[in-house]
Amino acid sequence: MDDKPSTAPPEYDQTFSRALPPQVVVQQPAPVIMQAPNVLGDRPSMATCPSCGARRNTAVTFEPNTKTHLLAVGICLLGGICCFCIPYCNDSCQTAKHTCTRCGAYVGSYNN
């Protein structure tokens, strides 16, 4: 008998001459790319639309909020009934609502 090493391919079990189970290959997770958060203010801002994914300037519209109504009531109570419309004309007393200029979807809002 020959004492030569076996020439069987390494992927076979030499004892029973059958294939070994497949080896598990561990893949590294893909790197995560972090983007700066959308910083919305009272002016059009660069933001990523959650609906269409476009990154562009937003369209801003101003809407009255609770602060606007309370200021108007306060002006009326202080005797300035003819000046109650000032909070409704001033953008700093209202909520800035940002929408996508491409698809019109809501992006976010800013309360002053």
Q: Residue 39: its pLDDT value, please? A: 78
Burial class (CB in 10 A: 0-12, 13-18, 19+), 58: buried
Task: State the DSSP H helix or E strand holding residue 46, giving kind and residue range, or none if neither.
Answer: strand 46-48
Chain segment 45-89, per-residue pLDDT in tens: 998 888 888 899 999 999 999 999 999 999 999 887 888 888 999
Among 57, 60, 54, residue whose Cα is nearest residue 46: 57
Rg, Å, the chain Cα set: 33
Q: Residue 14: its pLDDT value, please? A: 57
Q: Residue 58: its pLDDT value, please? A: 93
For the chain, the structural domain boundaries read: 46-76+91-111
Judge whether residue 18 has pLDDT over 80. no
Q: Residue 34: its pLDDT value, please? A: 53
pLDDT range class, residue 27, cuts 50, 70, 90 = confident
Q: Residue 83: its pLDDT value, please? A: 86
Q: One-letter amino acid identity for 88?
A: Y
Chain segment 30-55, per-residue pLDDT in tens: 666 555 566 788 899 998 888 888 89
Give Cα separations from 92 to 64, 66, 89 (angstroms): 10, 13, 9
